[in-house]
Chain A
Amino acid sequence: MENNNTRVAIIAANGGMFDAYKVFNIATAAAASDKEVGIFFTFEGLNLIHKEAHKNLAMPEGKEHFKEGFEKTNVPSISELLEMAQEMGVKMIGCQMTMDVMNLEKDDFVEGIEVGGAASFIEFAKDADISLTF
């Protein structure tokens, strides 16, 4: 298959369940379309790759009734999407500074992530064709 070298740079800065779906749906769809995808997880966004937290992300307040819709629509779980994203080579960078502030170590996160600062993300994003922030 051709690799058209389109690069997608995503910042994940929020940690709710809806945020996770927005980030991972776009990321997996892009990766499945042979785009080169990198996600920078910062502040609450770190929830999305936290070993435990990503399995039980909160719905926005007052939107809990959508739970049923998620089940009925057979939407994949965040764990599944995260696994897919990693399988397809999505680059994931956890924000070192936020991890320090929150007293988190690399071991607290799913395997395969990188830890870096804003400059690491900027280096990846400088050649991005598509930049998204969630």
Chain B
Amino acid sequence: MMEAVKVLDAKGMACPMPVVKTKKAIEEIESGEILEVHATDKGAKSDLTAWTNSGGHELVDQTEENDVLKFWIKKS
């Protein structure tokens, strides 16, 4: 898997902050690069997936361990 160029720690944040912070973080990377997001908000699972789709980005991978959701988003 491609290496993330940036990691966003959104753990402990409640809706809608994970999405808002992800939006800001993705603006700081280049098209084709990968942003890794860590979140504990259970809603982030569907929210970040929906957000990724709506922005035309690609959800490359997603994991869940010890209540931490991890997302790898490739910028469009």
Whole-angstrom distance between the alpha carbons of A23 and B49 in the complex? 22
- For the complex, is B12 an interface residue (Cβ under 8 Å from A)? yes
A4, A32, A73: the one within 8 Å of B14 (CB)? A73
Contact across chains for A34 and B20 when beta carbons are under 8 A apart: no
Contact across chains for B56 and A84 when beta carbons are under 8 A apart: no
Q: A1-B56, A33-B51, A33-B55 are in contact. Are A76 and B76 (CB under 8 A)?
A: no
Q: A76-B14, A76-B17 are in contact. Are A32 and B56 (CB under 8 A)?
A: no
Q: With A4-B56, A33-B19 given, can you name 20 additional A-B contacts, CB distance below 8 Å?
A: A1-B26, A1-B27, A1-B56, A1-B75, A2-B55, A2-B76, A4-B54, A25-B16, A28-B19, A29-B16, A29-B19, A32-B23, A32-B51, A33-B23, A34-B23, A34-B54, A74-B14, A76-B14, A76-B17, A84-B20
Binding site for A on B (CB under 8 A): 12-17, 19-20, 22-23, 26-27, 47, 50-51, 54-57, 75-76
